[in-house]
Amino acid sequence: MAALEVMIVDDDVASRDLLSGMLRTQFQARISTMADGVEAMRECRDKSFSIIFLDIEMPGTDGFEVLKVIKSIHPNQFVAMVSGHSSLDYVKKAMGMGASGFIVKPFSTSRVQAVIDKYMSEK
């Protein structure tokens, strides 16, 4: 299996570090981290990723706006939305906009594994 190329977009350093560590340790993934949506959109114009973990609630451009731009550039991009809130409205909106998964913080190994498994089954 080729190494996963993963982008993590989250304004919270601890969340980025936790998810990065999990993905590196368990999946030997190559990780790019972004602190905001503007940076992520710029990066997506130049590069594609296996999976993008995208936080919804960020200052400035929120994850839904970033998702819209990413999907316009790479319609088949696998994006897992991330939120500190398990609001059903957030889940419905994210999936309706083309997200492939949804994870509620704090991250659990089993939930991250489920997202990776879904990605692998769709690949």
Query: What pLDDT is stored for residue 123 in this prediction?
Result: 83
Specify the pLDDT at position 107.
86
pLDDT in tens, the chain (123 residues): 578 999 999 999 999 999 999 999 999 999 999 999 999 999 999 898 999 999 999 988 999 999 999 999 999 999 999 998 878 899 999 999 999 999 999 888 999 999 999 999 998
Amino acid at position 23, single letter: L
Residue 85's pLDDT is what? 82
Q: Domains plus CATH for the chain? A: 5-28+36-122 (3.40.50.2300)
Among the listed residues 42, 43, 80, the one whose alpha carbon sits nearest the alpha carbon of residue 63: 80
Cβ-in-10-Å burial (0-12, 13-18, 19+) of 3 comes to: exposed
Helical pair 37-46 and 63-73, crossing angle rounded to 10 deg: 10
> 8: which strand partners?
33, 53
CA pair distance 89, 2, nearest whole angstrom: 35
What is residue 1's predicted lDDT score, i.e. its pLDDT? 56
Give the span between the Cα atoms of 103 and 109, in whole angstroms.
Answer: 11
Which residues is 6 bridged to in the sheet? 31, 51
Digit-coded pLDDT (tens) for 60-86: 899 999 999 999 999 999 999 999 887
